[in-house]
Every structure is written in structure tokens, then in C-alpha cells.
Chain A
Amino acid sequence: MSYSQKRHEVFSKIEPWLYLSPFLIFIIIFTLYPVINVFTISFKENYSYLRGTFKAINFENYKYVLSDDKFTSGLKNTALYVLFVVPVSTAIALFFANLLNKKVRGSAIFQTAFFLPMVTSVTAVGLIWRLMYNQQYGIINWLLTKFGIEKIGWVTESRWSLLALIIFGTWNILPFTIIILLSGMQNINETYYTVARVDGAKPLRIFFRITVPLLSPTIFLVCIVNTISCFKVFSELYPLFYGKPGPYYNLYTVVYYIRYAMMEKRKYGYAAAAAVILFLCIFVVTLLELYLKKRMSRKGL
């Protein structure tokens, strides 16, 4: 084939898409199509997945889901979970990251120890936590009795189950949070600390007046990522109560509800509507966090 100007022009238009296509095809089939599908299904009343039939397009699914006690309590539990786990895990992670950032002998061993939970399976670890939470023989209650506290039915009493989930969830998210914060800390220029030391600032003041403000972009990032992942709490819940949402079906979360609507109730419309509501919640909270970040970013951080 000889060279022609026109063919060259046509080809240079197609060319970029050819490079993109392997990735695009996967995204479209496995991400974009399901997302759009969830949106459309959420508006279809009485949708049958196998036959693809539905009664009408309306807000019936949303009406049902929002009036379902299981969902509303799930929403409340999820919100509480996010509200506790995100700040608490960030605060604890800041403390540990600051310790790990100090160049002491054997810090590599500590780093490995702290990051171990990240490579283990949540389900396996969850089952172990269930053992540790055991009312009679669990190590946590054994420790508590040493302080004269009565044995608590962590995973058998409904009033303790949310706390048990929050503690396990915090522990589970810590390694990731520590890694991110630690890498942020290591990027802080050493001279800031030298200057502060020459001025005679004590470690506590250095931490709160210099480390934390300089780390705030990383703290924001980790908060946003953790908020999103905490909203989707499920894999922590499932092993902790042997697949039940709490000992007395009292601890629904939004994602557990989605699973329940789909796998147990076989109502795809309800599940889709719940998923869309969850998406909106995450979307709004993330926007809020980004807005906060923007307001603080004037300082050139």
C-alpha cells in the first residue's frame, strides 16, 4: 500500500483508541456496565434478573428500602462505624507512625510487625478476633478481669456488638493508615525539625505544631480513603458473628443489607437502590472532605 495523506489522517485518529482499547474494554464490561445497570435496576419495580422483566419504572425500591428498619438501622450503624473508626484509627496511626519514623535500632522489625495485618486475610483474622472476644475464654476478657472488670459478651450481647466491630475494624485498618502516614512523614524535610530544635521546641510541640500540620495533606488523603472503605464495612462483620449481622440480627450495615436483599430476599431492585444510596452517602461525605481540604490548602501545603 502506498502512502496517502487521507489514510494517514484516519489512522492517526484511530491510533490512540487502539492503545486504550485493552483497558477500556475491561473497564466498560466489568465496571461501567454494572454501574449503569445498578442505577437502572434501582428504578425498576419488581425486577427479575433472570427474565429481565419489571413492572414499572418508579421510586418504589427506594421507598421500600428507606422504610425498611433493617436498612435504616444499617445506615445508622454504618455511620457510627465510620464516625468512630476513621478518627480513632487516624489518631492511633499518627502516634505509631511518629514512633516508627524515629530511627531506632530494630525499627524494621516493628514496621514488619505493624504491617502484618495488611497481608493477612480479614476473614481468618476475624475468626481469631471472635476467639479473643470469647466471653469465657477470650484473651480480652481475661485481660479485663485483671483490671477488675466483669467479663463482657462482646460478640454474644447486642449492646456490645457494635463496639466489638469498631475495635476490630480499627485494628484492621491501622496498618494501611500507618503506612500512608509514615511515608508522608518521611517526606517532611529534616531541616524543619532542626530549626525547631535549635529554637528549643520540645517533642510534643514539634509533633503538634510542625509534624501534624505538614502532614495534613496525607492525613486528609488517608481519611478520605478510610471513610470510603469504612462505609463499605462488611468483611469485618461477616466472620465476627459467623455470617450473621450481629448476635441478634441487630448489627446490619449498608453493605450487609445489600447482600441480604440480593442473596436472601432475592430482590435485586432493593439491593440496587441501597447501593445507590450508599454511593450518594460516600459521594457527599467525600465532597465535604475535599471542600475542607481546599479551604485549608491556601497555605501551600
Chain B
Amino acid sequence: MKVRIDNVTKKFGHTTAVSNFSAELQDGHLICLLGPSGCGKSTLLNMLCGIIPVTEGQIFFDDKDVTKLPPDQRNIGMVFQNYALYPHMTVAENIGFPLEVQKVKKEERKARIEEIAKLVHVDNLLKRYPSELSGGQQQRVAIARAMVKKPQLLLMDEPLSNLDARLRLEMREEIRRIQKETGVTTVFVTHDQEEAMSISDSILLMKDGLLIQSGLCQELYVNPNSLFVAEFLGNPPANKIVDGDKITAIRPEAFILDENGTEAEIQFISEMGKDQIVTMTYLGNTVRAILNLDDINVGSGSKIKVGLKKKGVFTFDKEGHRCHPENDDCHPELDSGSIEKESR
């Protein structure tokens, strides 16, 4: 199902949580709502769900206006951060609860519970209670409960943030698999850019209630429209070098060893698998670079010469708007009028 968000605004009293938000979510995509905490991404999700009423604007599911519909008439499934499994019901009862509400017959209910349980790999746990499950299993059950009524839209509110690092990776792939197998349009809220990059088809990057940039993951990474996007995506984050009115963001992987390059002094080196993250002084700034130092013998305090690749270097004006890479003159892109001032 396609979702269209049309100039949606949400105000709580005098504070604006989401402001004039427009986006189109493609059918069958896994879309990440990404942004720092407090940027309004959960509020937007809850408005899609119908838990929070919209102040202004409209939401369309396909071509149907659902802005005023209560949650139960929108045919959506929702997974919450804390899973919210009913502790007094078994896994099967938990998964079957939405069907029970819809008054689905017992035999059909059983069949559908088993079907969805197989999909999320909890079919051997159906008789257990939530307290007898691990975090990852609880997460699977929560997904099964959201999916059992065959929703047109699946909403997930930071579903991975209660899991430990290893499980998070595993469940990330599982969510991806389940989403691909069922083809349900999914909106996934997270503040973790790495999670968003690895799981989603497209990203809506938010800040202070505004949509900053949207597009496919790689698009945002390769071609950020503002300093905020350039700094937010990527780990380690892009390095910011201020030079008068011009701000340059350099991705760590954009550094290369170059005999004719600029001199940089290594502060320290941390190992990261095959590469090293090198913290160094570069043009008077402390920057982090991912370099392969295997072939040269250097340590803290050594001086190396580095150059820059063309890819991964972006220039911005002092307001943080992207300058066109072709020419050096700064002029903001057309749609970036909404970007807040960079205040760091």
C-alpha cells in the first residue's frame, strides 16, 4: 500500500512536534524514519497509526483519506519499543488477540496463528508465556501479533533498542526478511543511522520536526543536501572543517595516503578489523580517517601525507546548506530553505 503524507503538522500546545511534513512512501518498501531523539519521528509514526490526532494536513493510504479514522479502522499493525506483550496470555493467545477482537472463528484463528508463527520462527513457543521468552523471541512474537491480521501497513517504533548488540543485528536481518517475504509496506522508526542504512529501502531523515532529506539510503549518504545529513549519516561521522564562510565535511573514508598530499600528524590509531581509524591533526583540525596503514610503519606522533578523494567531500555555506560541487560559489539548494541553522 502506498502512503502519502500531505503537509502534516502536529502541535502540542505551543510546541510544534512535526511541522509541514510531506512525503510519499512507496508500496512494499521498508522506510526508515530517522533522526536524533526528540525530532518528532515517533509522533509522526503515531499519527500514521492514528493514536495521536493530526493538527493540520492529511494522510492518505493509497487514495483514501485516513486522517480522521481511528487506529482500528486503518488496518495497520504496530510493534512497540517494549513489545507490550500481554504477560497473562500465552504466545498463541497474544498473537491471536487481534483476531479474537475481530471475532474470527476458532479454527481459522488457530490456522492463522500457526501460519504467522512459522513465518517469524516462534511456532515452537506457542504455549509459553512472555516472561519465559528471551528478548529476541518476545520481539518476534510482537511482530507476529502485529502481522497476524494481515495489515496493509506495519509500523515499528524503535523495535530493536531493547535488545543487546548481537541480537539487534540478528533481528535487523529477520525484520528485513519478514518484510520482504510478506511485502508489507513498513515504517521503521530509529535514531540509529547504521540500523537505518542497513535495513531500509529508503530513509526519511528528520530534525526538529522537519523533513530534511528523503531518498534511498545510498543517495543520502553520497549526496547529502545539508551539513546535518552529512554529519548524521556514517560511522565514524564525517569530519567538519570550518574555513571562513565555508564548511567542508570529509568522510573518514575519503582520506587516502598520498605522497603529494597535505601533512597530518597522527594522534592515535584504533584498530577496526582490516582498517584502522586514525585520529590525526589535519590542517589544524582533529579529524578521524579510515586508512590502511599496514604497509607503512607509523605510530602516534608520526607524520603522514594524506590526500582527499573526490567522493565523500562536501562543501557547505556557513548556514549548513550544500554548495554545488561543480562550482565553489555557495548557493543553497532550492528545497533547503527549511533547514535549521547549524548550531554546533
Interface residues of A (CB under 8 A from B): 189, 191-192, 194-202, 205, 209-210, 213-214, 216, 298-301
Contact = CB atoms under 8 A, between A and B. Distances in A.
Contact of A199 (B51, B98, B129, B132): B98
B86 A210 contact: yes
15 contacts: A189-B82, A194-B51, A194-B84, A195-B78, A195-B145, A196-B97, A197-B51, A197-B70, A198-B51, A198-B71, A200-B98, A213-B88, A299-B88, A299-B131, A300-B129
Nearest to B90: A299
B116 interface: no
B88 A191 contact: no
Contacts of B88: 213-214, 216, 299, 301
Q: Which 4 A-B pairs have the closest CB atoms?
A: A300-B131, A200-B72, A213-B88, A191-B84
Given A199-B101, A200-B102, A214-B88, A299 B129 contact: yes
B207 interface: no
A300 B50 CA distance: 31
A151 B76 CA distance: 58
Contacts of A216: 88
Q: A interface, by DSSP: helix, strand, loop or mixed?
A: helix
A198 B87 contact: no
B230 interface: no
A200 B80 CA distance: 16
Contacts of A300: 87, 129-132
Given A196-B101, A199-B72, A205-B101, 11 more contacts: A194-B51, A198-B50, A198-B72, A200-B98, A200-B101, A213-B89, A298-B129, A299-B129, A300-B130, A300-B131, A301-B87
Contact of A197 (B72, B89, B132): B72
A294 to B, nearest CB: 15
Contacts of A205: 101
Contact of A198 (B49, B129, B130): B49
A189 B89 CA distance: 16
Interface string B284-315: 00000000000000000000000000000000
A189 B82 CA distance: 10
Contacts of A192: 84, 86
A299 B132 CA distance: 9
